[in-house]
Chain A
Amino acid sequence: MLCDDGRVGGVARGSEPDTARGRSWSTSLLDTITAEGLDPAYRVAADRRSVGGRSGHRRSGAAAGAALAVIGLLFATAAAQVRASAPAEARTRAALVDRIERRTAETDALQSRVAGLRAEVARARDQVLALTAMGAQAAENLQRLEQAAAVTPVEGPGVTVTVDDAPADEQPLGTEPGTPPAAELSRILDVDLQKIVNALWAAGAEAVAVDGQRLSALTAIRSAGEAILVDYRPISPPYTVSAVADPALLEPRFVDGPAGRELRTLAEVYGIRYDVTPVERIRLPGASGVTLRFARVVGAGS
């Protein structure tokens, strides 16, 4: 701060008493800051004035008034700006987060309702179709298609891959102390989940879900800022990727493949945590929201 009596940075230059040197640097700095809250220039100017024989202090003149007017203008402008942006911003942001959480709960409820309805329709339809041979055959064909398109729940043996961001207190290797931690790289990104899913498919998985969201041909894994969205729904760490397959084959293929190697590298360098566990029985829900708006079957009507 600006002090014009020879002190720099609040520490007296060349006039430290021996006792001060015994104290720690930071203590004496704080002492100085708190001790001389008042700008020493006031004291110096007052001394100068009393030497010159004038009164102890000058009544506030026009200069002070003008400076205070500017200060008032500054305060009012800053306050007006804050009121214009911050309440709107705070309101919007808090309201947004609130709405996101509520909307997520709503869509989850909707999803289970749709799943229930689909089961009802399937039951009613199969009942009707069971009355004719042709109908029964059509129902069976449909079942196979439903499995292939991932819209019905499945269960079976499989593997669960769990990944989590690096713990907050761990610094990634290779960063120098004092530099900001590479927060970006110690988080799981959407590309990491994409690669894990891709590797599971390549290793022979028959059904895959991320955090309980079944993956279909329409499901995308992407990120918006720091959040990862699966099928437009935000998910939070730790992330669970479940796959149904022959665990004896899937686990070694995954672990020895490029994704497994990459996970190990990420864990070593950035401290990301992961875990690959075979499971005896996994149940994965069916994918939801499979309405096509543009694609039509060739030869079908509009």
Chain B
Amino acid sequence: MATYVEIASVTVGSGGSAYVEFTSIPNTYTDLLVKFSARSARTNDAGGSDGKLEFNGVTTGYSSRMLLQQGGAYSGTSSTLFYFVNSNNSTSNTFGNMEVYIPNYAGSGYKSVSIDAVDENNASSAYGVLTAGLWSNTAAITSLRLTDNNGGYMQYTTAYLYGIKKD
């Protein structure tokens, strides 16, 4: 099997969507990689909109530690798997650029998650975050959902899921 293979993709249509989701993820790869280009419907923070990543429809057992660029340099924690995308009052036509990496997603241990996410803006406010996440659950990941916390994702938001195979 090839090493770097697309599994599925999603494009948000004209009505927008509260979240973007991949289901029925095969267990035949070693790691998962998500590439996410998103714009939120949020209109009260031009710097960005926060979101959360969840697995298998489960809403508990998540924790994150982050390095943030949010007008200055910060570090924080969260009880979700945390990221930023562009808000709808940021510069028009601008979508965030994010990558998620989940090693050993089908294994029997807890799941670690790495997220690198930036959004851009032709102004002073734009956010970036490096996230180290944990899902304290031993289930194999069969679905993943990216949910905006502030109103949902706009049309043209895209997500691509790739499988990485180690042998």
Q: Do A and B bind each other?
A: no
A residues bordering B, Cβ < 8 Å?
A: none
